[in-house]
């Protein structure tokens, strides 16, 4: 697994937990508002990557100070060895949270089946009709719908979320997204970090 970044402590990435955040390298979307542009390419120079064993060693020594680990990205579900990483995190005693764009339901299904996740957060980027424009790719909306259904019936704590960029999503769009969220599932908006947006034209968006 390629790890493009590591945050040793976060109080806001996993509700109710003090967590480390592991950022996987590579994403299959190219959302113009993305603030983690360096993590998008599937490969990166070796000096920009963090060895998995180094991260696990750091976490091993921080048991008692941290109680959770978040795997974010990039898009973690693109990595075939994601289950192994999560299993090792759980062996160390950490609660595990996954951040995902929902494009890989087979991986999500396997992680849920093997009880490797304690919390999932899934981004819902746009109304279905404009998903391609907002993600910058031909988005697999049927796969994303399948992932939404998997989360909703999983029994595992989860939340759906949308980054609201007013120049890309209207209030009517937000209402349409909210209408697609499975009944009973939490949903919230995320702040847009304009200064770091992938598309420079959005960096001064209000």
Q: What pLDDT is stored for residue 206 in this prediction?
A: 54
Domains of the chain as residue ranges with CATH: 3-202 (3.20.20.70)
Give per-residue pLDDT as tens, 111-133.
999 999 999 999 999 999 999 99
pLDDT band at 18 (very low <50, low <70, confident <90, very high): very high
How many residues belong to the chain?
206
Give per-residue pLDDT as tens, 138-187.
999 999 999 999 999 999 999 999 999 999 999 999 999 999 999 999 99
Q: How far apart are CA 123 and CA 119, in angstroms?
A: 14
Q: What pLDDT is stored for residue 186 in this prediction?
A: 97
Q: What pLDDT is stored for residue 6 in this prediction?
A: 96
DSSP string, the chain: --EEEEEEEESSSSTTS-EEEEEES--S---TT-S-GGG-SS---GGG---HHHHHHHHHTTBTTB-EEEEESS-GGG-TTHHHHHHHHHHTT-EEEEEE-S--HHHHHHHHHTT--SEEEEE--S-GGGHHHHHTS---HHHHHHHHHHHHTT-S-EEEEEE--TTT--HHHHHHHHHHSPTT--EEEE---GGG-SSGGGTT--
Mean pLDDT of the region 84-105: 98
Q: How far apart are CA 160 and CA 154, in angstroms?
A: 14
Q: How far apart are CA 63 and CA 95, in angstroms?
A: 11
Give per-residue pLDDT as tens, 36-80.
999 999 989 999 899 999 999 999 999 999 999 999 999 999 999
Q: What pLDDT is stored for residue 82 in this prediction?
A: 98
pLDDT band at 204 (very low <50, low <70, confident <90, very high): confident
Mean pLDDT of the region 15-26: 97
């Amino acid at each position: 697994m390629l790890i493009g970044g590591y945050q040793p402590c976060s109080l806001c990435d996993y509700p109710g937990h003090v967590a480390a955040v592991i950022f996987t390298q590579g994403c299959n979307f190219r959302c113009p508002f993305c603030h983690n542009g360096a993590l998008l390419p599937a490969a990166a120079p070796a000096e920009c990557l963090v060895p998995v064993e180094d991260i696990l060693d750091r976490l091993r020594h921080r048991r008692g100070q941290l109680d959770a680990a978040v795997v974010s990205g990039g898009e973690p579900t693109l990595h075939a060895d994601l289950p192994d990483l999560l299993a090792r995190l759980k062996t160390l005693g950490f609660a595990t949270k996954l951040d995902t764009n929902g494009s890989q339901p087979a991986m999500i299904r396997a992680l849920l089946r093997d009880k490797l996740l304690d919390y999932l957060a899934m981004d819902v980027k746009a109304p279905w009709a404009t998903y391609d424009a907002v993600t910058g790719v031909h988005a697999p909306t049927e796969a994303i719908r399948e992932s939404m259904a998997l989360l909703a019936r999983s029994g595992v704590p989860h939340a759906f979320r949308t980054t609201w960029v007013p120049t890309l999503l209207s209030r009517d769009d937000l209402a349409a997204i909210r209408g697609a969220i499975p009944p009973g599932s939490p949903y919230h908006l995320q702040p847009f970090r304009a200064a770091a947006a992938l598309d420079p034209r959005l960096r001064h968006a209000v």
